[in-house]
Amino acid sequence: MTAPPANAEPQKESMGIDPYERNWIRFSIVLLVVFLTAVTVAGFAMGFQVPGEEARVDPATITEAGPFANPGVRQIAPGEFEVYVVSRTFNFDPAEIVVPQGATVTIYVTSQDVQHGFKITDTNVNMQVVPGQVSKLTYTFDRVGEFPYICHEYCGIGHAAMFGRVRVVPPSEFEEAGA
């Protein structure tokens, strides 16, 4: 065996990885870092929430007593509201929610029969609604307008007719209506 020439560069260990493959591995790692950063920013800076199970209820007796017996909007403090929504095949009760602009609204949703969804368009309110479980999210409605809400989980043949709306009105109009 002969020795390498004195002026030859030492060979780099490549571990048998093709240069193109090595570049794709680097690109994949950069993508993972970008995705992790995006999820972190969305979670902390943009206020995304994950709906959680707030309580358990008996779907068969939900409308007999408690807050779901009379679903709707309740003012708990100035500028703070609670909304109780019951989803059942194929409607939401109430079908219309009216709140003043700037209100912080905590929404409690449950199902009386099958799995449903609750998505308020143009907001980050998006919940899966499971019978026997109360889902909860809080959102501040900063602009006046109508925000439709829909069931986004297929719940049967009348699923397409399952919708409602949140009407956000100026505070003066809300007070005049005596809501």
Q: Tell me: the pLDDT tens digits for 10-60? A: 556 556 778 888 889 999 999 999 999 988 887 777 666 666 667 788 888
Q: Tell me: the pLDDT tens digits for 127-167? A: 888 888 998 899 999 999 999 999 999 988 988 889 999 99
3-state secondary structure (DSSP) of residue 144: coil
pTM: 0.71
CB 98 within 8 A of CB 174: yes
Q: Pick the more confident residue, 15 or 61.
A: 61
CATH topology of domain 52-177: Immunoglobulin-like (2.60.40)
Amino acid type, 167: R
CB 59 within 8 A of CB 140: no
